[in-house]
Structure 1
Amino acid sequence: MNSNSEYPIELTVVMPCLNEAETLEICVQKANRFFEQHQVKGEVIVADNGSTDGSQEIAQRNGARVVDIPTKGYGSALRGGILAAKGEYIVMGDSDDSYDFSNLMPYVEKLRKGYDLVMGNRFKGGIESGAMPFLHYYLGNPVLSFIGRLFFKSAIGDFHCGLRGFSKKAFLKMDTKTTGMEFASEMVMKATLLEMKITEVPIKLYQDGRSRPPHLRTWRDGWRHLRFMLMYAPSWLFLYPGLFLMIFGLLSSVFLVAGPVQIGSGVFDINTLIYMSISVLVGFQS
């Protein structure tokens, strides 16, 4: 039960939605079942991003509150739904039935203990066969999560898990701006930079119930995540590459000043020295 009079309910479940008629009903039903079974005072918000397949009616028929979000994008839909939430705590998750909304107690327990952000970890909880594309499993998620941990000294193992919980107060402090899929990275990055209290819980990822392709675009959205992380990590974008160029250029120039250097059939002479000098200048300017 919610003892904080500032919020009328304890938990809001926010589901972004764009033509999810195939799976939305079961997702809302699972969330409502969770509220009933665990006696949690809650609500479901469906943040609709312009569905044309009747998703809005399905949501309302199952007791969810529909919030229309005119600005397109995953981040826009979630941000609009979160801002409309009445709960002290919020759990967000995709409405494609890839997450089990009837199993949210691990999130609620952590939030009640004072954590600002509770991330799910699909790699610890298990990934059903076929639930995650090969590239996402072996390249996209591991690499981007590693970069996130490296750049921001975060302990989070699964940066891009779509099922996560947080307090509304913490979300407002994050002041998120992104409108696309990089919203997922922005939340973790800003929570880390603001030194918020963050933890993880293992969760299982299931194969989604849709017959159409997902909205996620592997290379485009992967690049957007990486670009955004680089924007918030200027040392990795400018300082460290600049130092490497400057040191490499200086060391190479020292060898080339004495005269041409031959390695195998290749000869490094005055032209190489010019390039190394440019490397030093570029590195210094960075």
Structure 2
Amino acid sequence: MTTTVPASGQPTDNGATLRLASATPTAHVKPAPVASPTRPSVSLVIPVRNEARNVGWVLEQIAHDIDVASPTRPSVSLVIPVRNEARNVGWVLEQIAHDIDEIILVDGDSTDVTLITARHARPDIRVIPQQGPGKGSALRTGFLAATGDIIVMMDADGSMSPQEIRHYLHFLNNGYDFVKGSRFISGGGSLDITPFRGLGNWFLLTVFNTAYHAHLTDLCYGYCAFHRRYLDHLRLTATGFEIEAEMTVRAMQAGLRIAEVPSLELPRRTGTSNLHAIRDGIRVLRTVLRHHRTGLTGHLYQAARNAAKRPTGHPRRHPRPTHRPTPPPHRTHRTPLPSRTQRRQTTHRARSGHSLKEITCTTW
């Protein structure tokens, strides 16, 4: 079937005139844009008091709802105290991943080739001399010199695997403030701890959990990481191995969110450890109890501690002078007392009937 289309301007079958569109485009007028209403500003008021473990999570959820741009990756500083670890430090530094921004080696006056080996393994390390004796002094020196947003601490004897650092960073980047390794949770373990040290660690951990109402599984392990912004709140003063317990105690008291990650403690590669189980265990116990000030047990311990420091007897308001006072320069004149013979004469004449005036004149 063939359909015939009439020319332009010719009437169609129904009498209507067919008009074709012109080849010249006609100008179209755009409608005026309608102004969209501005978004009202919102103020969020959150009252807080000692909510360090909760407010971070709350603010993170708010930031995600309002599409706030995620911050850049935090920088990481690794602090390693060393002293005569020439046979171990090279292996440790070679295992460290390259995403660690800063490696700080705190030298405790090494007498071997520790520093030469360390610089050969990682030319980018920073070597800082230790200020004060003990492991605690070395770590505090490294913490003050660190510039990264996150500080990680580990030993240089090869007992801690550097590959585990990423587990610590994962928890720190997801809401936690202080992360410590544990040898006694699923996935962790120790190939170096002795039964005697294990018993001591269990006792100290029980005291800590009871005093601070915590549920930790390991206390005396030096593989930890935390945000550098909390360094001033930790107020570290320990000089020995008890600094690991002091960091955990201070983190609990400051209200930091603490997480434990499984860690495998390997045997020391070479050399002997400077740890003394009994001596350092007593120092850890003192550290745990010294900072315990809450609850009935805390008040009782602090009262007993203050009583032990107080001297016997009641203190004097005005202490007795150590030297005798100097007599006044001018003394009043006193009449000398009569001798024994004069007293006898006075008594005899008084009995004989002399008057008092006569007695006085006769005797003196």
User: Do the structures match in fold with TM over 0.5?
Assistant: yes
Report what 1:110 is aligned to.
Answer: 171
Asked whether 1:126 is paired with 2:191, we answer no
Report what 1:78 is aligned to.
Answer: 139
Report what 1:193 is aligned to.
Answer: 253
Determine which structure has the larger strand proportion and give its number: 1
Picking from 212, 215, 220, the partner of 2:279 is 220
The amino acid across from 2:77 in the alignment is T
Deviations 1:240-276 (CA, angstroms, capped at 9, x unpaired): 7989xxxxxxxxxxxxxxxxxxxxxxxxxxxxxxxxx
Report what 2:80 is aligned to.
Answer: 15
Report what 1:69 is aligned to.
Answer: 130
Higher relative contact order (CA 8 A, sep 6+): 1
Tell me how far apart the structure 1 counterparts of residues 244 and 100 of structure 2 sit (CA, whole Å). Answer: 26
Report what 1:145 is aligned to.
Answer: 205
Structure whose alpha-carbon radius of gyration is higher: 2
Tell me how far apart the structure 1 counterparts of residues 301 and 232 of structure 2 sit (CA, whole Å). Answer: 32
Q: Work out the number of aligned pairs and report it.
A: 230
The alpha-carbon deviation at position 127 of structure 1 amounts to 2.7
Deviations 1:7-35 (CA, angstroms, capped at 9, x unpaired): xx61111111111111111111111xx23
TM-score (norm 2): 0.59
Tell me how far apart the structure 2 counterparts of residues 41 and 112 of structure 1 sit (CA, whole Å). Answer: 15
Superposed CA RMSD:
2.2
Contact 2:289 2:301 in 1 (8 A): no
Report what 2:292 is aligned to.
Answer: 233
The alpha-carbon deviation at position 231 of structure 1 amounts to 1.1
Report what 2:65 is aligned to.
Answer: none
Determine which structure has the larger helix proportion and give its number: 1
Tell me how far apart the structure 1 counterparts of residues 301 and 133 of structure 2 sit (CA, whole Å). Answer: 36
Tell me how far apart the structure 2 counterparts of residues 179 and 148 of structure 1 sit (CA, whole Å). Answer: 20
Report what 1:250 is aligned to.
Answer: none
Report what 2:316 is aligned to.
Answer: none
Report what 2:72 is aligned to.
Answer: 3
Deviations 1:223-248 (CA, angstroms, capped at 9, x unpaired): 000011111124536627989xxxxx
Report what 1:246 is aligned to.
Answer: none
The amino acid across from 1:17 in the alignment is V
Tell me how far apart the structure 2 counterparts of residues 2 and 24 of structure 1 sit (CA, whole Å). Answer: 34
The amino acid across from 2:72 in the alignment is S
Deviations 1:162-214 (CA, angstroms, capped at 9, x unpaired): 1111011112221111111111111000110111111111111111102x320
Tell me how far apart the structure 2 counterparts of residues 29 and 184 of structure 1 sit (CA, whole Å). Answer: 25
The amino acid across from 1:73 in the alignment is G
Contact 1:111 1:167 in 2 (8 A): yes
Tell me how far apart the structure 1 counterparts of residues 219 and 238 of structure 2 sit (CA, whole Å). Answer: 16
The alpha-carbon deviation at position 114 of structure 1 amounts to 2.9
Contact 2:78 2:100 in 1 (8 A): no
Contact 1:230 1:236 in 2 (8 A): no
Tell me how far apart the structure 1 counterparts of residues 148 and 82 of structure 2 sit (CA, whole Å). Answer: 19
SS of aligned partner of 1:157:
coil
**Percent of paired sites with the same residue:** 30
Tell me how far apart the structure 2 counterparts of residues 50 and 241 of structure 1 sit (CA, whole Å). Answer: 38
SS of aligned partner of 1:159:
coil
The amino acid across from 2:112 in the alignment is D
The amino acid across from 1:3 in the alignment is T
Tell me how far apart the structure 1 counterparts of residues 213 and 119 of structure 2 sit (CA, whole Å). Answer: 42
Deviations 1:102-125 (CA, angstroms, capped at 9, x unpaired): 221110111111311101111123
- Unpaired runs of 5+ in structure 1? 244-286
Picking from 269, 273, 294, the partner of 1:209 is 269
The alpha-carbon deviation at position 146 of structure 1 amounts to 1.3
TM-score (norm 1): 0.75
Judged with a 3 Å threshold, the aligned counterparts in structure 2 of structure 1 residues 13 and 135 are, in CA distance, closer, same or farther, namely same
Report what 2:161 is aligned to.
Answer: 100
Judged with a 3 Å threshold, the aligned counterparts in structure 2 of structure 1 residues 70 and 151 are, in CA distance, closer, same or farther, namely same
Tell me how far apart the structure 2 counterparts of residues 165 and 56 of structure 1 sit (CA, whole Å). Answer: 24
Asked whether 1:183 is paired with 2:243, we answer yes
Tell me how far apart the structure 1 counterparts of residues 251 and 231 of structure 2 sit (CA, whole Å). Answer: 8
Tell me how far apart the structure 1 counterparts of residues 260 and 252 of structure 2 sit (CA, whole Å). Answer: 13
Judged with a 3 Å threshold, the aligned counterparts in structure 2 of structure 1 residues 241 and 116 are, in CA distance, closer, same or farther, namely closer
Judged with a 3 Å threshold, the aligned counterparts in structure 2 of structure 1 residues 19 and 43 are, in CA distance, closer, same or farther, namely same
The amino acid across from 1:20 in the alignment is E
- Unpaired runs of 5+ in structure 2? 1-69, 305-364
Judged with a 3 Å threshold, the aligned counterparts in structure 2 of structure 1 residues 145 and 109 are, in CA distance, closer, same or farther, namely same
